[in-house]
Amino acid sequence: MDYLSNKKGFLGVDNKFHTKQKVTVIPFGLEKTVSYGSGTKNGPKEIIKASHQVELYDEELNCEPYKKIGIKTLKPFKIDKNIKKALKKISIVIDKILNKKIFPITFGGEHSITPGCIGPFAKKYKKLCLLHFDAHADLRESYNGEKFSHASAIRRCLDYNNISVISFGIRNISQSEIHYLKKNYSRIKIFWAKDKDKWNLNKFKKMIKNKNVYLTFDVDGFDSSIMPATGTPEPGGLFWDETLNIIKIASKNSNIVGADINELSPIKGFNSYNFLVAKLAYKILSYKFLSKQV
């Protein structure tokens, strides 16, 4: 696999520092099925660029997490124009990473990347829980005639019988998705955004206790006031501290095996949104490897 230099990769750390690699960052700017705003193909490079401004010391964990983790970033590779071939490619890449016992985190691109990302995990684990942050349920069978649409991402993940889903922040769903949700209630749990004040996170803790978990984060899960740089922004969403609290609970009580972050559509001149996503990625990795120490 070809990697970027540490200086050009995620966090932009000094090449002189060496530690055992535990994480591979995969830039995968797939943009094939966007249905409103565009620009997700530029998400990965802007996340990496913004990450060079993220403070490496974490005051909560009282350390510089990257020194204990070891992170390398793959060089961007050609993405096939055919979406099924593109998803097969990312599956192959992630499978190779898993075979090296390294944690993969993929930067999209649109949310349609997730079924491709999760394929190797579905084969590796007898049961897998998908921890899903999003404004949308993404449970449509197809959208605009495309079954691999970003609006069908979670539905395609559920094509694997050993996968279940816990979604946070959902506040936009179609009637057909409600029908599918009711039919598959045992496999899908939604913490609706409208019920934030009533969320029982102790129940969530029990739901994911000792499970293998894959984390997928569509940035439109955030409230549109802090994350307008996405194709389908929605009001009434998640804010920073409550989001980190959920991820921390998952990190302490389950085995997070992989992750993706998607749907950033950078807005020229508004780098704060790119920075937010870069810091989110660093916090996910920091919690994954270090949260049980605090």
Alpha-carbon distance of 116 to 125, in angstroms, equals: 16
Is the CA virtual torsion 226, 228, 231, 236 positive or negative? positive
Average pLDDT over residues 50-75: 95
Of 247, 94, 258, nearest to 163 by C-alpha is 258
Query: Percent of the chain scored above 70 by pLDDT?
Result: 95
Query: Percent of the chain scored above 90 by pLDDT?
Result: 85
Chain segment 190-223, per-residue pLDDT in tens: 999 999 999 999 999 999 999 999 999 999 999 9
Chain segment 175-186, per-residue pLDDT in tens: 999 999 999 999
Chain segment 79-130, per-residue pLDDT in tens: 998 999 999 999 999 999 999 999 999 999 888 999 999 999 999 999 999 9
pLDDT of residue 15: 57
- At 38, the pLDDT band (50, 70, 90 cuts) reads low
pLDDT for 17 beyond 70 = no
- At 16, the pLDDT band (50, 70, 90 cuts) reads low
**Alpha-carbon distances of 283 from 5, 11, 62, 149, 274, rounded to whole Å:** 22, 12, 13, 28, 14
Q: Where do the structural domains in the chain lie, given as residue ranges?
A: 10-293
Chain segment 266-283, per-residue pLDDT in tens: 999 999 999 999 999 999
Average pLDDT taken over every residue of the chain: 93
- At 151, the pLDDT band (50, 70, 90 cuts) reads confident
pTM above 0.85, yes or no: yes
190's enclosing H/E stretch is strand 188-192
pLDDT of residue 178: 97
List the CATH code of the domain at 10-293: 3.40.800.10
